Amino acid sequence: EQVPLSLKVNGVRHKLKVEPRTTLLDLLRENLNLTGTKKGCDYGQCGACTVHVDGQRVNSCLSFAVMHDGKEITTIEGLADGDKLHPMQEAFVKHDGFQCGYCTPGQIMSAVACVREGHAGSEGEIREYMSGNICRCGAYTNIVAAIQEVKD
């Protein structure tokens, strides 16, 4: 049985009906067509699905959409301001914070939260905060450099 759900996603209010077992990740990708948020593992191990819920980062594969009724979701599609990239997106481009790019949306959403929550004080602190976001290409050094640039 489907249940009603109201979410604000990237500033747009959506009223939907979803199965209670639908994850936030599947809702974003399948119902709202916001495919910037990636499905890597689908069980909380890779961070590719990271989004913000009321400003807090969340692995969207691990939470049911219905848990977020009335909340505000930000995905990678919501970071830029029109044609102007978010400073963290600019920094990832400048420092080559990616190779294949699959993990990048999740990396950037975590990186924004890292700086916002004050966990970017040192390289060690950044690496610790970002440890849930796996990059199979190993772009970690450049990702850290991007974060350090934004926090300065």
Footprint of ligand FES (CB under 6 A): 39-42, 44-49, 59, 61
The token duo for 20 is 């209670």
For residue 150, give the H/E element and its range.
helix 140-151
Question: Between residues 8 and 39, which has the closer beta carbon with respect to ligand FES?
Answer: 39
Question: Between residues 23 and 142, which has the closer beta carbon with respect to ligand FES?
Answer: 23
Least distance CB 147 / ligand FES (angstroms): 19
Least distance CB 73 / ligand FES (angstroms): 15
Least distance CB 88 / ligand FES (angstroms): 19
Question: Between residues 18 and 61, which has the closer beta carbon with respect to ligand FES?
Answer: 61
Phi, psi of 49, deg, nearest 5: -95, 15
Phi, psi of 16, deg, nearest 5: -135, 170
Least distance CB 24 / ligand FES (angstroms): 10
Question: Between residues 24 and 91, which has the closer beta carbon with respect to ligand FES?
Answer: 24
SS (H, E, C) 24-90: HHHHHHHHCCCCCCCCCCCCCCCCCCEEEECCEEEEHHHCEHHHHCCCEEECHHHCCECCECCHHHH
